[in-house]
Amino acid sequence: MPTITKGDKILVSGANGYIAMWVVRHLLERGYAVRGTVRSEGKGKYVKEYFTSLGFGDKLELVVVEDIEKEGAFDEAVKDVDAIAHTASPFHANVKHPDEFFRPAIQGTVGMLKSALKNGSKVKRIVVTSSCAAILTPTDKPSTFSEKDWNAASPKEVEEKGSDAPPMSIYRASKTLAEKAAWTFYEEHKSEVKWDLAVINPPFTSCSISYLTRNFVAYNLGFRRKIFFSPTFNLILQLTILQPPIHDVSSPASLNTSLKAWYDTVVADTPKSKEALAFSSGWVDVRDTALGHVLALEKEAAGGERIITTAVNVANSLPPSVYSNHKLPTGYPELLTKDTVYSIVYDKAKEERILGIKFHTKEETTKDTLEDFAKRGDKVLVSGANGYLAMWVVRHLLERGYAVRGTIRSEEKGKYVKDYFTALGHGDNLELVVVEDIEKERSTKQSKMSTPSRTLLLPSISMQRAQKAYVIDPAIRGTVGILKSALKNGSKVKRIVVTSSTASIITPSDKPVTLTERDWNTVAPKVVEEKGADAGPPTMYQASKVLAEKAAWQFWEEHKAEVKWDLTVINPPYPPIHDVKSVDSLNTSVKLWYDKVVDPSPKSKEDLAFSSGWVDVRDASLAHVVALEKEAAGGERIIATAGSFNWQEFINIANSLPPSVYPKHKLPTGFPEIVSKDMVYKTVYSKEKEERILGVKFHTKEETTKDTLEDLTRRGW
């Protein structure tokens, strides 16, 4: 049976769900196109925006299937897709009648198969999300279960008790009956179809209260002491718990059932009994369950199989985590011993033989989830929030779950920012405050420094103004001013990240040179000191970056014993989402790129052969956000560069792209011979520290060129 290949289109039902969002992400990242079903346009809005922000918008199609129980509900959705991942099925603890679970679970699953039989002429495989709820029969003795087992008890209990059966029994019965119905339908019709069936069974738990599994151990960053909490994983039915959610959640109360149970047990400081915390079962990270669905679509051997996807039960400890805002429950540490016996164990043999997933550990899952919860509660202050780099920083922060307070110089400048992020669905998490003059003493008092837990300073300097008063003084006073305000009122601030530049690192040289974070530009400040305004805009700008960064480091060294925050400086080298109305209103660096790569006016060979470092603004802004998150970034200056370039490289790339990318203009050709395998870049910046601490995956010159030209085309330039 042929399996799917890169470029195939995959149908994912319930695409806005907890598991489904991760399935969609894995598929898109592996080169597939995805058609997702959602119950309404409203539910699809967040999904589309999320994947568009990751660069996958053109590979994701969403269609509305309002009622999955309706006959023929998926008839149109299955047309022209190569495979199907059916994840849509309800799960909550408020069920009042068995039909609330049975109808969508059974009719939705069989309905999908019927539609594939009728209209799925291209379909090669269908993967259905079931659960270990369909495998496990509750027992008082330690037991090992495999794919050969079926839950016979829950359907019988619901048949006998009806609506009086416990909600979890109704859920378990629905998963059992839906999966059996799927296998029955397939067996009856497999001679009529070109597709086969695979079922993924992630683990679940069996008691009536939702708690988590044994041996979830973490460190409380604030005290650097080991904390044992909620050692049981039990009771979360489809315990596909974590990594943190990427579907649309606005508060802990709106978390999906399994993750909410994890939160209530591991994070919420409410009493739990020793018996509850001692209960054990299987568990799995949602990223691994989602990957299991994708691999089951790809692996030929998965056809006709039901496969348990469960992580191993191994106790380890975490490195320091980042959940210092809350007191975590300690539970009963004595429950964890080397002689611990797990009540429920799932056989991993088939998964290891067919799928071969490298599962996340409890430590990785716990750390990632606590970090996600922590940042969803953090507010980050971004100065100059309407700027070129700052707008991308704000976008990354909002997309990663942070709340943002941005400073702007006027209400008028803030209108575009607010409208832009409101259109992306982030309006509620963005607050803008006016700081008219960043040089004014105590001006950041207006930005309420006492609230944000992290701060980003993103100064904006125009190279059109060469006077010291317009360039150097604002850079120094604005930078030191926010540090002073943080010292005075920033009681919650954990880290401040300042945007500097490789302008503060590079010293002009006639020979090829490699520069690191240990280097400083000593020439520019000296030239400005000697020549004043006659030094020229570029030199004045370089001097401002050097002096502002040195002033920041000096202030921090003098006061670090008095504050709870540390300092990080990002030094980026020399496609906009901020408010620009014409080419002439582009910021300095993008305008320079436009003039060299797009503007057909003549340039000298020497000009186009000039080389230095470069970085895509999306990556420079992401580096700021990662520098806020990574503990190792504290006290560091970090060069954020994608590598070296010369202008001719970008020109050659632009001319190699299809005409549709930039159809309106004839691009300059320059001197193509400049680019050769033997060319030597005059300036190279070390990437060692960035790779070691931040690990940003930088855009390539080709990606940046294509995206920027397409953006210019959309703007009609």
Query: Do 596 and 667 meet the contact criterion of CB atoms below 8 Å apart?
Result: no
What is the Cα–Cα distance from 712 to 81, expressed in whole angstroms? 34
Active site (annotated) includes residue 697: no
Q: Where are the alpha helices (DSSP H) in 409-536?
A: 411-423, 468-489, 523-531
For residue 277, with 0-12 CB atoms within 10 Å meaning exposed, 13-18 middle and 19 or more buried, which class applies? buried
Tokens of 544: 């401002």
Q: Say what the alpha-carbon torsion angle 466, 469, 474, 475 is, to the nearest 10 degrees.
A: 50
Phi/psi of residue 297, nearest 5 degrees:
-75, -35
What is the Cα–Cα distance from 712 to 487, expressed in whole angstroms? 43
The b/e string for 508-534 (b: 16+ C-beta within 10 A; e otherwise) is eeeeeeebebebbbebbbebbeeeeee
What is the Cα–Cα distance from 712 to 709, expressed in whole angstroms? 5
Question: In Å, what is the CA distance from 156 to each residue of 137, 238, 445?
Answer: 11, 20, 66
3-state secondary structure 89-156: CCCCCCCCCCHHHHHHHHHHHHHHHHHHHHHCCCCCEEEEECCHHHCCCCCCCCEEECCCCCCCHHHH
Which three-class secondary structure state does DSSP give residue 247?
Answer: coil
Question: In Å, what is the CA distance from 241 to each residue of 88, 498, 699?
Answer: 17, 36, 32
What is the Cα–Cα distance from 288 to 293, expressed in whole angstroms? 9
Q: Which amino acid is at 464?
A: Q
What is the Cα–Cα distance from 624 to 627, expressed in whole angstroms? 5
Q: What share of the chain is helix, strand, coil (3-state, %, to 5)?
A: 45, 15, 40
Q: How many CB atoms lie within 10 A of CB 681?
A: 16
What is the Cα–Cα distance from 125 to 407, expressed in whole angstroms? 52
Which three-class secondary structure state does DSSP give residue 220?
Answer: strand
**Catalytic-role residue among 175, 367, 484, 596:** 175
Helices 588-597 and 647-656: angle between axes, nearest 10 degrees: 60
Beta bridge partners of 227: 218
3-state secondary structure 33-73: EEEEEECCHHHHHHHHHHHHHCCCHHHEEEEECCCCCCCCC
Tokens of 521: 């530009």
For residue 127, with 0-12 CB atoms within 10 Å meaning exposed, 13-18 middle and 19 or more buried, which class applies? buried
β 344-346/143-145 pair status = parallel
What is the Cα–Cα distance from 229 to 333, expressed in whole angstroms? 7
Tokens of 679: 């060319």
Sequence-separated (6 or more) residues with CB below 8 Å from residue 177: 102, 105, 106, 155
Q: Where are the alpha helices (DSSP H) in 341-464?
A: 349-354, 362-377, 388-399, 411-423
Q: Which residues are marked as active site?
A: 175
